[in-house]
Structures are given as structure tokens and as C-alpha cells.
Amino acid sequence: MSTSRRRRTARPAPRARRGRRGVVRQGPLRTHWLLLTALLLTLAAALLIQGYTQHLFDHRPDQDARPAGAATVPEAVRTGGPVIDAAGPQPRSAGPKPGTVALTFDDGPDPRWTPEVLDTLRRNGVHATFFVVGTQAAAHPDLVRRIVAEGHQLGVHTFTHTDLGTQPAWRRSLELRETQLTLAGAAGVTTSLLRPPYSSTADALDDPAWSAVQQAGREGYLTVLTTRDSEDWRRPGIESIVNTVIGEPGNRQGQIVLMHDAGGDRMQTVAALDGLLPQMKGIGFRFTTVSEAVGLPDPVRPATGTEHWQGLALIQVLRTGDGTLTVLGWLLYAAGAVSVVRAVVVLVAARRHRKLRRRRSWGPPVTEPVSVIVPAYNESAGIEAAVRSLLASDHPVEVIVVDDGSTDGTADLVEFLHLPYVRVIRQANAGKPAALNTGIAAARAELLVMVDGDTVFEPDAVRMLVQPFADPAVGAVSGNAKVVNRGGLLGRWQHIEYVVGFNLDRRLFDLGECMPTVPGAVGAFRRSAVLAAGGVGDETLAEDTDLTMALCRDGWRVVYEERAKAWTEAPASLSALWRQRYRWCYGTLQAMWKHRGALRQGGQAGKLGRRGLGYLLLFQVLLPLLAPVVDVFALYGLAFLDPVRVLGLWLAFLLVQLLMGVYAFRLDGERLGPLWSLPLQQFVYRQLMYLVVIQAVFTALAGSRLRWQRMQRYGSLRVPVQDDPAAVRPEPVGVGGYRAQVHEAVRDPGQGT
């Protein structure tokens, strides 16, 4: 044995105990659930707003779909001017004065083209009217302020460039109100001018569009249509745009001209302005705003303080939503890439581990006796099956049952069985670590197997478990725990988790020499190594993880022996599963924090720190914390993105998991039948597991203490049939055919009651 492994051989003085587990919670945490709910609701609201503004945005050009005829549009409107007041029972309209041109620009502001349009108008001393889209104004409030500062007029072009004629009344009002708030927040003004997207001239109004104009009139808006469309949205060429705007020679009628400063490449629009403005001025036209062209008071008014602050809040929400979506996108891409890489690495590692196991020889067969320690607290439902399965081992064992103050007669039951080579030690209730330390102190053998009182061993499990100790560098061995109660969906899901999640990871940890946990259900240890590490600690709720990490930091190698199989009872209810996993996760976080110093160490400790702890942090803490966001984003994708693509990605993710499951089940010699429930696992079990992680992380961050939570036993354990290790004996324990094969190498210590 190396010097580094001899440096702590003296048995440490007993530590002061602080009661059962040393940790007691004063009461359940509630604040973090309220915080989590608030965060998820805020995220959902931000995504809903972002989805509404971005993915319900109608990107069609304004004249892409011209309306058909109309039956209810008043004749006075159809033949009247382009500015319509539909507020009263008798709608009124007005047209621009002769020789007057009101240039109007739709769909902006755009960071690329609006500044160039403004620069051109300023060079030519022309004021125009800009009908802005709310989402664009929220994204570029500086441009809205510049439009107002340079003397131009603002109008509303809806919030998402939607066709108002096709929308219900509530959506129309929402579109207009949100745009007004955006203008109030961006520039401190409101306007009563409205140009509905996909509108044209007054004689082209149809019934749905007229209905929208009427509603806008009742809400205080003047609808501004056009008299001439430059058709710059078609990008027909600079000369064509100029000729269209100028019209026929000698025509002095006033015009409201439709142009665009956003919605696509507007290079032709900017170039056409440079030509037509001087040319039209030269033939006597005067350029002005819409209100001045038709002789109306200025429709732009200062916003109230309330409107201004509401507008600022709306802009901030929209910006936050955009930023959140960007961050989420990168996080999800990273999480997806990491998950795929993990799947590939785990599968490759599992295959490599299998090949190495076939070729690897630990050394001469290990035949020395083993002390099996069974800490028991109220384990009467399964203790008989556990002890009998251990005595049925094909390896010499002594069994030490440490009764930790049970109140259900666990110790009495074991003593009543009168089994050879079994000792019962009673102690006052002090917790599982104390019970294990009591067993370690009483053990006769150097090799220890620690097993929970709800676990049944295969006949060859002990022998398989201790063979790696032929290598003097090995300090502990993890066995292969299997779920015995697989009935129902919950049992199947845990069975899948044990086979796929735990055992594939352990193969990877074995290859990386960074095993963080030897499970309490089935694990073996060198007694001298455990004592040198200070025994089993009680500072965490995961004493098995704590001890394993301590051994790694002392320079010992911890390996995985998948052939050492033991059967354990899994929780049979969601509440019991929650309590178990909550304890596991919280205890793992405690152990990770306790052994964080391994990150700075070298050798075996450094491998644990940089490989094992890094893996646990990434895949058992950070990714589960991101899982609720993934679910919310998936719902967002179904509602606002391409649902076929979202479903395709989900199915691809599920396929990767299924392939991992098939391979893991093949490695363990399991039937593939339970894998049919894997898709259903994504809708209940997965959510429960990440909620457990969230609860544990919040508990740890809050510095709260968690009491020990024992799982309820159901008595479903039976001694496995020796010629079929995968089967569970249906008869009650003790019925026929199981003779304990105890070798003479273990002498009866005199307390084999």
C-alpha cells in the first residue's frame, strides 16, 4: 500500500453526535415555491408577449392582398377623401388641398432605412408623416424620438402589423392601445392618426375594413388612407417610383402618398426620394404632414405621466422578452448539445467498460471472509429477506445487524430466527451513520459490505462485489442495485432510472476513476480505508456519497462491479419518492460542497473534483434547474413557432433516450418491455425529479436543515431464486430450498442468535 494510503490508520476518536443525523428542520420552506412560481409565471408572460409581438406579426406587404368590394360602406366615404372620421352617426372625410403632398411612410421605424429616409427629408426641408408599428417602435425608441424631434408627424400602424378587418374587436383595441403606449413611452406623445395595414384608397374599403374603421373612430382615431401608392414595396425601380408619385403632368390635385421606410430593402425608396422631392418642388408642389394637408389641428399630443410610465414599462417588458428569448435560445442550444454529447459519451463509455470487464483481471480470487453490516431502523417488513439472502451467499460472510432503536421489533425478529453467523447489536436511535460505525467497530473482517435493511442480495453478489479488492489500489466497490417492485408506472419508471440513469453513469465514472457514490443498498469497502477516512460521517444526508468522496480524496480508487446485483424496494408512491429523492439530492449537494476542495487537488482526488463533481454539478444540478424553462419554452414553441418542428425535436430527444435505454437494458440483461413507458416518463416523473432538485437547491441556498426522512417499507422483498437471478421468489421467505452456505472461515462470534 502506498504511503499516501498509510498516513491515517489510527482510529479517530468518536465524534460528538448532534442527534439523529445532526440536522433538524424547523419547518417546511414555502417562499422558494412562491418565488419559483412567480419566476415561471413571469417567464411565461414574457414569452407570451414576445410570441404575440413577434410571431403574430404579419410580414406581408401592405398591398399584398387588396380587399374586394363592399356592401355597407357609405357612398360618401367611398367617394370622399382619404382622411375619415367615423366617430359619429354620419362619417366625414377630408382630402388634401390642391398642390399639397403629404408623404407617408409605413412599417417603421427600421434601424437601417428610417435614418436614411430622415436624412433625405432633412436635406430637402420636407416634413412627412410616419405610421409606425408598435413592436418596431418599442425596439427602436430612439428613432421615434428623432422623428418627433425633426418635426415629423406620428401615426399608428397597429402593434403587430395585423389586418384589423380580420380581427375581433378586442384584438383591434389591444393593437391600437399598445401602440399608443409604446409611443408614449418612447417619445412622450400620443396620436389620433391611424393607418390600418393592408388598406388602400377609400373606394377600396370592404365591409370588414369598414367595420375596423368604425371601431377606430369610436375610440378616437382618424383613419388615414391614401390617394397614391408609390408601389415601392414592389421594388419596381427608382424611375418607376418617381413617375408613380409625380403622376400625370399638369395634375395639381393634393395627394397622400404611400411609401415605406421598413419592411424590406428600401434602397430604391431612399434613392427615389432624392430625385422626386426637388422635382416636385420645382413644378410647384408643397410637402407637408397629413393634418396640415387636410387642414386639421395637430393630432399629436403630449402623453400623460401615467401613459408615459406605462409605455416605458411596456417597452421594457418587450425588451426583456426579446433578451430572455435570446438567452434561452443559447441556453437551450447549449443544453441540447451537452445532452447529446453526454449520451454519446455515456454509450461509448458503457461499451468500453463492458469490453474492459471481459478482459480485466483484478488479481487472484478474493476468498477472505466478509463482514456484512446491516443498519436497521424499523425494517421488520424486509429484514428477514435481507438477512437470509446474505446467508445464502456463496462467499464466507458474517452478518451484523445493528438495530438503531427500532420500535417495530426488528431486532426481536432477527433474533427469533436463530440464524447462524448473524449478530444483532442494539443501540439507542442515533442515525444510520452511527449504526454503520457501530457495525464497523464490531466487524471481524477487513472487507466490509454495507447493505440497507430493505435489500436482498443475489447468491453471488458478495463474491462478485469483493473481487476488485485483489487490486490494492481499490478502496471501495459499487454494486448494481435493481428495483424489485416494478409494478405500475412508478415502479417501471424507477426501474428504468436505475438501469439507465444510475448504472450507465457508474460505468462512465469507473472509466474516469471519479466514482462519487457507492450506493447504500450494495457497496463494499476496506475497513482500514473507512477508518482512516474518519468512519461514516453524519454531516450530510447522503452518508454513502460523503464516504465515497472521502475515500477518493484519500487516494483510493472506487470501481463499479455490475455483476454484483442486489434487489431493493423503491418508493411506491409519489410522496414517498419525493421524500427519498429530496434527501438524496440534498445530501449530494452537501457532500459536493463538503468535498469541493478536491477541485484543487491532484491525483485521485483531483479526478473526483474535476470530473465527478463537475459531472454532478452539470447534469444533476444545473440541467435539472433549466428543465422547467425547457418545458415552458416547448409550450411557447407549440403556440408560436412551428409545432411540427418542436414535436420533431422532442421525438428526436426521446429517440436518443430510448436508444440509451435499449443499450443499458441489454447490458444488464433486462427485458425491454418496461421501456414502453419511457415517453410517459417525460410528463410526470421528469417534472417530479427536477422539482426535487429545485427544492434541494433552494433549501441549501437558504441554509435550512433537513431532517432524515425514512422510506416506508412494503414487504415486497423475497430471496431471489438462485438459478434465475432476475426473478423474485414468489413464496414467503423461509419456505423451502435455501440453505445458508456459510464457510468455516468465519467463526461464530458467540452472539449468533
Q: Which residues are marked as active site?
A: 106, 260
Task: Say whether 89 sits in a helix, a strand or coil.
Answer: coil
Write the CB contacts of 405 (distance below 8 Å, at least 6 apart in sequence): 377, 427, 428, 429, 430
Listed in sequence order, the residues at least 6 apart from 702 whose beta carbon sits closer than 8 Å to its beta carbon are 29, 32
Joined together, the cell numbers standing for residue 612 give: 465527478
Kind of pairing, strands 100-108 and 228-229?
Answer: unpaired
Q: CA 360, CA 560: separation in Å to the nearest integer?
A: 13
Backbone angles phi, psi at 253, to 5 degrees: -65, 145
Question: Which candidate, 557, 476, 570, places its Cα nearest to that of 523?
Answer: 476
CB 495 within 8 A of CB 674: yes
- What end-to-end distance do the CA atoms of the chain give, in Å? 37
DSSP codes of every residue in 251-283: ----EEEEEESSSS--HHHHHHHHHHHHHHHHT
CB 606 within 8 A of CB 598: yes
27 alpha carbon, distance to own chain's centre: 28
For residues 106 and 258, the answer to whether their CB atoms sit within 8 Å is yes
Give the residue among 375, 427, 426, 420 at the shortest CA–CA distance from 398. Answer: 420
Give CA separation, 70 vs 9, 77, 79, 84, 209, in Å: 97, 11, 13, 16, 9
The rounded distance, in Å, linking the Cα atoms of 288 and 305 is: 30
Strand partners, 288: 102
Distance separating alpha carbons of residues 149 and 144, to the nearest angstrom: 9
Q: Which residues pair with 557 in a beta bridge?
A: 474
Q: Are strands 83-85 and 92-94 parallel, antiparallel or unpaired?
A: antiparallel
- Residue whose C-alpha cell reads 421489533 in the numeric block: 409
Cβ proximity of 677 and 491 under 8 Å? no
CA dihedral 73, 79, 85, 89 (to 10 degrees): -50
Count of alpha carbons within 13 angstroms of residue 524, beta-carbon side = 30
In angstroms, the CA 539 to CA 15 distance is 11
User: Cα dist. 126→3, 266, 384 in Å?
Assistant: 89, 19, 96
d(CA 118, CA 145): 12
